Amino acid sequence: MILTDLNPQTLLMKVVAWLAIIGLVIFGLWATADHFENVGYQKAKNEYTAQALKDTQAARLKEQTLQTKLNEAQNARSKAENALLASAIANRNAVNQLRQQLDTTNRNLSSYSSAALAARVTTLSTVLEECTSQYSELATKADGHVADLKLMEDAWPK
């Protein structure tokens, strides 16, 4: 090294050059670290997104399964209601036939006093009508409750 090379300007330029080199190395290391950090972040983000998509699809499948079960249970409940309605109509028809038979019997009995027979048949007819109407109403309500219970059991997730 020559002593003339050690003037303050060259010394300053050498220091600035070394600082620039050190700065570039530090910047390069930082950029490399940042790049690998972003790669890791992007990989984790992709994994989480894929898992969220799988979870969403599984939830939709489960929801569809539950909805199908609910629809089937509601259809079964509707069929049960129709059967109950048909049964109630048949019950009313049977009660009407019994009432008509009692009315016919009331008109045709002549061996007893007519007042006694009429009072007896009227009373029995009234009692039978009230009983059958209340029993029929009770049975219809009970069958409805059973159908509701079956709906709940069929629609409940297993």
pLDDT tens digits, residue range 56-103? 999 999 999 989 988 998 898 899 889 888 988 998 898 888 788 777
Residue 92 lies in domain: 69-158
DSSP letter at 3 equals G
Domain-embedded: residue 84: yes
Burial grade of 139 (CB within 10 A; 0-12, 13-18, 19 or more): middle
Residue whose tokens read 């009770």: 138
| Residue 152 one-letter amino acid | M
Domain-embedded: residue 20: no
- Model confidence band, residue 23 (pLDDT cutoffs 50, 70, 90): very high
Other CB atoms within a 10 A radius of the CB of residue 148 amount to: 13
This prediction's pTM = 0.46
Domain-embedded: residue 97: yes
